[in-house]
Structure 1
Amino acid sequence: MNKNVIYLYAAIIVILVSCGKQQEEKNIITVKNNLEIPRVFETVEISKSDLFLSEGQVFENMVVVDVDTEKIVVSQFVDQDGDGIVDILLFQPEVASKSEKKYKLVGSTAEKEEVIEYCYSRFVPERTDDYAWENDKVAFRVFGPRAQKMIEDDIKGGTLTSGVDGWLKKVSYPIINNWYKKNEIRPGAYHEMSPEGLDNFHVGVSRGIGGTAVKNDTTYYVSRNFTNWKTITTGPIRTSFVLDYADWGADGYTISEKKYISLDYGNNLSRYEIHTKGINVLSAGLALHENDGQVTENVNEGWVSYWEPHDTSELGTAIVAAKGSMVASEHYVSTLKDRSNLFAQLKIKEDKVVYYSGFAWKESGQYPTKESWEKYLKEFALKINNPLEVVFTR
């Protein structure tokens, strides 16, 4: 079977409710939108503990149903802590501005049908030891310990960076496996333009698209490649995984770092939850490449952006954080190769910081101008600062 296919409950099925209408009403989910803009591509997480499940009901057999249309909504189960037991159910409601929408959770014994696993990630041992992830909009990769050791041992083909690489796709279907396969057949093939896009984003030792750093005095210090990985989930709604990094130094400070990264359907930005010790402020950066683009620093709203010429096209990158998390930004220009970055300074609270980072490529047609890209960022920041309100009726 294609690795990018999973099973989902059929959109038109007979729903079997174990305890009748009275039981069904005890699992009503009301999603409220308090903003003047419609809400789409935002993921609601339903924990098993949020629900009223009668004896015999199985959480993994629940489906999400639109109360108004009685249609099944795409959903995804996740074993968040890796203990072999499903913890949460994900779905993406569509809620008009200043309104609310009702869904219900009901049990079903229906057969499943194949759907595309748009949100996908995996370790890639056949290309040294990358870890790559994607959804219907964007794709990324980072580099592992073998690629680092090749550089240290002066072996051709290695990569030494903790920056985040962007794969510029212009199709909605998954491309990671396709691109690595053609690279196996002809090394470097994914660097050439195809109808699906290409990898022509240069990372080097820059921060790429959202890589981390620590500033001490006037110098930015960075980690090396990730040391370990763990995939949490892939599916139609979300892919998520964990990357470990060896402790690293920042001029006398010892930094520990563990990254929980996820990417949801319909989003151009990955979510980064960084667990770190040894510092109070962590920086996330965007590569400035030739320093010929336009920098926008909007710390008050919680986002920074870089819009640049990119080969024969244009590219926008960004970092977004919840209000109060981004305390400053810096347009940092260096004479050293790949050291120029636009940095967002992020406040660490209880050894953790959360931010979002990603890109839009003009050729994809998603956000083809600086203005459309920054409108998306403004609305994205507005949404994370005003999350959907979810009410359970038990």
Structure 2
Amino acid sequence: MHNYIKITVLLLIIGLLVSYKSQITNQELTIQVENNQNFSRNEVVEIPYEKFSGLLKSTDQENIRVKKQGSQDYLITQWMDSDSDGVTDALLFQVEVAANSSAKYVVLVDSMNPVKETKAITFSRLVPERTDDYTWENDKVAFRTYGPEAQRRIEENKYGGTLSSGIDLWLKRVEYSIIDKWYAKNLETEGYYHIDHGEGYDPYHVGKSRGTGGLGIWENDSLYVSKNFIACRTLATGPLRTIFELDYAPWSDYNVKETKRISLDLSSNFSKFEIKLNAEKEVPNYTIGITLHDGKGEVKLNQQEGWFRHWEPINDAYVGEGIIIEPNKVQKAFEYQSKTPDQSQVLLVAKPQKVLTYYAGFAWTKSGQVTTLEDWDKLLERQVKIVGNPLKISVVE
């Protein structure tokens, strides 16, 4: 009888240990990230929400932590509801993977230890205090474009308007967010953000050009474009990715209905454009532009690989602008020279399609991200490889 009790107790202890080990296992998930390129990659990855269903049975989203295997430091994360339907779609975190290598990341539950805050974030918003710009940024770059109030002021000959669907560039050289600060300072002193106070500035002129990444239709040696956006929606803004949408009134003789979906990840020089297009009749093309400003820059059109760039002096430094698109979507690319102000541009004539996807971005030499034209070309070449060869992500069982 005594031995029977001992055996029973031992079996209970073993059962509890097995149960405890099972609970520990269920509290962790290992993600493997593979990089098949010959350069190291520092990118935001997206893990579908359903992969975390086991972990979330016993805890809330805010208690989910991610760390690189072997490290004790938790990474910045961001939960995504990318279509604003009230349902979380995915978890984002930033990975570092060496060339031709793989790395493992552990997802776990920890309600006690918070994640360290960071100044480097993505951000976007409508800015009604300066007419109605929509502006977005990350730790490397910032952009803006223009809304209906800015258009109304132009059409009614009132001060402070802008009539353009082109994409403006804000040259920044700090990792932290500058949008709110620069606009607030500009309300105090008009023209504040056109002067570099140590964080960067906006010397880039868009006017009626496409800026870097604006859209149009090329026909009969003319570029037909939309006016300002008429509505906007911020879908996500956080430490790792911002997403928003812009709607445009039907434009051109083709009555094109356009919705731009733009996203920007932390540490990327390139905004991703996914543009839904619906025309009343068949269009000949959709054309993406980069303004040539005063014509003092250098252009390279690499249609075979799908990258197109401009490198120009602006004041006492240089700015490289670029577009990346799948090569098979481009009909032709060329420099268009015009005597009309703001109409000399690099033009990428793309095949008409329901959803046009491309990347538009830039680098400023004063930011320290590039120092030479060769640096900018290498950055474009690398981005082409990044877009064409996504990191391979798998859950390790």
Q: TM-score, normalised by structure 2?
A: 0.89
Please say if 1:142 is aligned against 2:145.
Answer: yes
2:101 to 99, 102, 121: 99
1:362 to 365, 376, 379: 365
RMSD, matched Cα? 1.9
1:73-131 superposed Cα distances (whole Å, 9 cap, x missing partner)? 22111221213332211112111111111112212213545433621111111101111
2:210 to 204, 207, 211: 207
Letter in 2 for 1:336: T
Q: Are the equivalent residues in 1 in contact too, given 2:119–2:175 (CA < 8 A)? A: no
Q: Are the equivalent residues in 1 in contact too, given 2:245–2:261 (CA < 8 A)? A: yes
Which is higher, the Rg of structure 1 or of structure 2?
A: 2
Residue 343 of structure 1, CA deviation: 1.5
Structure 1 residue aligned with 2:83? 81
3-state secondary structure, aligned to 1:71? coil
Q: Are the equivalent residues in 2 in contact too, given 1:117–1:234 (CA < 8 A)? A: no
1:303-351 superposed Cα distances (whole Å, 9 cap, x missing partner)? 10000121222111000123433342121111111011112233354x1
Letter in 2 for 1:154: N
> Can you give the 5+ residue segments of structure 1 that lack an aligned partner in the other structure?
1-16
Letter in 2 for 1:388: L
Structure 2 residue aligned with 1:264? 265
1:32 to 13, 24, 34: 34
Cα distance in 2 between the residues matched to 1:147 and 1:289 = 22
Structure 2 residue aligned with 1:392? 395
Letter in 2 for 1:49: E
Structure 1 residue aligned with 2:334? 330
Alignment of 1:214-229 (within 5 A): 214-229=217-232
Please say if 1:353 is aligned against 2:328.
Answer: no
1:237 to 237, 240, 259: 240
Letter in 2 for 1:63: R
Please say if 1:130 is aligned against 2:133.
Answer: yes
Cα distance in 1 between the residues matched to 2:38 and 2:141 = 27
1:347-373 superposed Cα distances (whole Å, 9 cap, x missing partner)? 354x10111111111221211211101
Letter in 1 for 2:23: G
Q: Are the equivalent residues in 2 in contact too, given 1:142–1:165 (CA < 8 A)? A: yes
Using a 3 Å threshold, how does the CA distance of structure 1 residues 384 and 255 change in structure 2: closer, same or farther? same
Residue 59 of structure 1, CA deviation: 4.2
1:182 to 181, 185, 203: 185
3-state secondary structure, aligned to 2:163? coil
Using a 3 Å threshold, how does the CA distance of structure 1 residues 328 and 53 change in structure 2: closer, same or farther? farther
1:5-63 superposed Cα distances (whole Å, 9 cap, x missing partner)? xxxxxxxxxxxx996333245x32111111111111x2211111234425334445322
Cα distance in 2 between the residues matched to 1:167 and 1:264 = 16
Cα distance in 2 between the residues matched to 1:77 and 1:346 = 34
> Can you give the 5+ residue segments of structure 2 that lack an aligned partner in the other structure?
1-19
Letter in 1 for 2:264: L
Cα distance in 2 between the residues matched to 1:237 and 1:346 = 30
Alignment of 1:257-336 (within 5 A): 257-278=258-279, 279=283, 281-336=285-340
1:63 to 65, 75, 78: 65
1:126-149 superposed Cα distances (whole Å, 9 cap, x missing partner)? 101111111111111111000001
Residue 234 of structure 1, CA deviation: 1.6
Structure 2 residue aligned with 1:374? 377
Q: Are the equivalent residues in 1 in contact too, given 2:260–2:273 (CA < 8 A)? A: yes
Using a 3 Å threshold, how does the CA distance of structure 1 residues 64 and 323 change in structure 2: closer, same or farther? farther
Letter in 1 for 2:45: V
